[in-house]
Structure 1
Amino acid sequence: MSRELPLLRWLWGRPSVKAVVTAGLLVTVLWNLKCFIRSSNSSDEALKHTKVLTVLVWEWPSRQVPDLSGDVCREQYGIAGCRLSTERRLLSQADVVVFLHTTLPRGRDRLPRDRPHGQGWVWVSLESPTNTRALAGWNQTFNWVMTYRRDSDIFMPYGKLVPNRSATVSIPTKTNLVSWVISNYHRTQKRAEVYKNLSRYLHVNIYGKAAKKPLCKDCLLPTTSKSKFYLAFENSIHQDYITEKLWRNSLLAGTVPVVLGPPRANYEQFIPADSFIHVDDFSSLADLATFLKTMNSSRYQQFFAWQKRYSVKLYADWKERICTICATYPRLPQGRLYPDLQSWFNS
């Protein structure tokens, strides 16, 4: 041992050895520091993703506010980390505040003037631009939009097809050719013009307030399911504006939709090309009427091939719609305001 000490002192005294050892110690310290920082960041990310988001709905869309107690989003829709509330006293604590256009006050000054740092405001509308008024006064107000349009920050369609491998084709018994349920009928609408001309060539069974034949909530699907075809005519023509007229009144009911809305290519982004008939597929409404009246059983059944792979999911519950905000939240752009909401929605 006594011989080794002088040797160690000699080695340590050499500049090259001292530099190597010092460098090694420095590398070790820096590596440990990097691991510590990475671990801290991972912990911060974990906390960020496990944080329960508080979503305040400024005014619920229906008169009766549902029970929002408990973990509604997780228990009913499988969306964790989401707390819904309509209590405005929680404004300072809310991560997101939701404003439905149909419940917005007339003036911006009736909404909170200041919002907590990092709080996001969502503008919600399921109506088309044709039926949406007074947007000009809401510039520089909302961070995100939630609409039926696929380019929305939070996409909320009226329905969709979901994969279902065990599905089988089920076509209800048919007793008539064509039906249509219509509540708001205005002669200036394109659908009114198309119906008027189409009815010259075939009979359409009409129901709803406009026809003075209202249907109860549980009567609608059993009624439309008896028709071979259903007129899924939208009240206005806009990109992606495909409503419950297609999803519920037609596909879910088990009848073939005859659609009037955006171009066929737009519909095909939502449903298979062979699952519907588009008014624009024909050079005249007389040709469309002939096609419907002369269709044989084999050709008709082909329209239901989609049922072998999919089933219809409706989005009709506002609780589920609001819970979807939490599922989308990690991907939402931060720190942005829509400078001109009207221009965006009308584009």
Structure 2
Amino acid sequence: MGNSVGTGKQRALVIASVFVTTLWNLRFFLNLSKGSGEGSKPREPLVILVWEWPSKQVPSISRDVCQELYSITGCQLTTEKQLLHQANVVVFPHSRLQPGRDKLPKEKLPGQNWVWVSLESPSNTRALAEWNQTFNWVMTYRQDSDIFIPYGKLVPNRSATVNIPAKTNLVSWVISNYHRTQKRAEVYKNLSRYLHVNVYGKANNKPLCKECLLPTVSKSKFYLAFENSIHRDYITEKLWRNSLLAGTVPVVLGPPRANYEQFVPADSFIHVNDFDSLEELATFLKTMNSSRYQQFFAWQKRFSVKLYTDWRERICSICAAYPLLPHGHLYPDLQSWFNS
């Protein structure tokens, strides 16, 4: 009897939540469709509460930061937890959810949508099993996320010209967290048998200051854009900033080539898996002539690199996506989804 009563209450809460969400969506779309003519009431702003800020450094946030910085109207961003009861969306970065549920609000309001946020790969994401039936939306680097937040992208730029920085060495790599068990450590060790790699970063006791990274890396013809783990769509700043923005050719280790080609042109990078052996890859890099090398920069004639580094921009993107998101949906098994 006790279980059936509990189940009945749960069903009632679900029905109430869906009902309230439906009313909110209807109101949202009606207000969105209203013109700004005389007599029309301005639609209520969407309130997004960031429960914990994703990064250690919390930037200045005004209520209208989305409009002020990114021209996204009708949206208010806040980190004030006392506004929980006004929030339409609550954002929870996974890194701040540890060690468990005690950091979550005690209750979830009907019609309120919770967002799980992570830029880490599944290999570096712990304790997902306890978050079943908790979050409505996911916000990750995965293209199939409800809110897709890549590390970077290429944006059209027809007036762009090819700019290849002067080169003084062949290959470089910046690495801070070196673990011998990682695939990238194995590949580097074997590749370095056939060519010299200029290694920088904490792992090699050659840390680079923030302003020094790009000028240093740009002097290399090639950059080892090796991801710390291999997962679908997990293509990080190692490609976008350290390689393409720096003006060097990325040698990538990550998901398959076809996955990279969903983000960047096929002739803009070299994939480790393009070769039968690392010796063959090393020979390809060492013997490349100037004409062939310049072809890797053809993308610069059509595109420029946009980096996503500001969490305010990422979170404000929820506002633009909100009308099209699946309201009332819950992820029954977050771990299974993220590891798929």
| Fold equivalence (TM over 0.5) | yes
Corresponding residue number in structure 1 for 2:320: 327
Query: Structure 1 residues 41, 69: CA separation in 2 closer, same or farther (over 3 Å shift)?
Result: closer
Would you say the 8 A contact 2:63–2:78 is kept in 1?
Answer: no
- Where in structure 1 are there 5+ consecutive unaligned residues? 1-39
Query: Structure 1 residues 208, 153: CA separation in 2 closer, same or farther (over 3 Å shift)?
Result: same
Write the letter of the residue equivalent to 1:230.
Y
Q: Distance in 2 between matches of 1:315 and 1:45?
A: 28
Quote how far apart the aligned CAs of 1:42 are.
Answer: 8.1
CA deviation string 1:78-117 (max 9, x = no partner): 2222211110000000010000000004232441232222
Q: Distance in 1 between matches of 2:334 and 2:264?
A: 29
Write the letter of the residue equivalent to 1:236.
S
Q: Distance in 2 between matches of 1:104 and 1:236?
A: 22
Quote how far apart the aligned CAs of 1:52 are.
Answer: 1.4
Q: Distance in 2 between matches of 1:49 and 1:104?
A: 36
Corresponding residue number in structure 2 for 1:243: 236
Corresponding residue number in structure 2 for 1:63: 56
Corresponding residue number in structure 2 for 1:195: 188
Would you say the 8 A contact 2:157–2:304 is kept in 1?
Answer: yes
Quote how far apart the aligned CAs of 1:50 are.
Answer: 4.1
Quote how far apart the aligned CAs of 1:63 are.
Answer: 2.9
1:46 to 17, 33, 45: 33
Quote how far apart the aligned CAs of 1:64 are.
Answer: 3.1
Pair 1:169 & 2:162 matched: yes
Quote how far apart the aligned CAs of 1:41 are.
Answer: 11
Pair 1:151 & 2:144 matched: yes
Pair 1:336 & 2:323 matched: no
1:20-169 aligned at under 5 Å gives the runs 43-46=30-33, 50-169=43-162
Q: Distance in 2 between matches of 1:82 and 1:173?
A: 45
Query: Structure 1 residues 114, 174: CA separation in 2 closer, same or farther (over 3 Å shift)?
Result: same
Q: Looking at CA atoms only, which structure, 1 or 2, has the larger radius of gyration?
A: 1
Write the letter of the residue equivalent to 2:316.
C
Q: Indicate the percent of aligned positions where both proteins have the same amino acid.
A: 79
Q: 1:248 is paired with a residue of what secondary structure?
A: helix
Q: 2:186 is paired with a residue of what secondary structure?
A: helix
Write the letter of the residue equivalent to 2:182.
Q
Write the letter of the residue equivalent to 2:156.
P
Q: Distance in 1 between matches of 2:151 and 2:251?
A: 17
Q: Distance in 2 between matches of 1:261 and 1:302?
A: 22
Q: Distance in 1 between matches of 2:205 and 2:307?
A: 27
Q: 1:239 is paired with a residue of what secondary structure?
A: coil
**Number of residue equivalences:** 308
Q: Distance in 1 between matches of 2:96 and 2:68?
A: 28
Would you say the 8 A contact 2:168–2:219 is kept in 1?
Answer: yes
Corresponding residue number in structure 2 for 1:257: 250
Q: 2:99 is paired with a residue of what secondary structure?
A: coil
Corresponding residue number in structure 1 for 2:265: 272
Pair 1:184 & 2:177 matched: yes
CA deviation string 1:30-67 (max 9, x = no partner): xxxxxxxxxx9985553699431111111112233211
Q: 1:60 is paired with a residue of what secondary structure?
A: coil
Q: Distance in 1 between matches of 2:274 and 2:218?
A: 23
Corresponding residue number in structure 2 for 1:312: 305
Quote how far apart the aligned CAs of 1:76 are.
Answer: 1.1
Q: 1:145 is paired with a residue of what secondary structure?
A: strand
Corresponding residue number in structure 2 for 1:206: 199
Write the letter of the residue equivalent to 2:261.
E
**Runs ≥4 residues deviating over 3 A:** 40-45, 47-51
Pair 1:230 & 2:223 matched: yes
Q: 1:83 is paired with a residue of what secondary structure?
A: strand
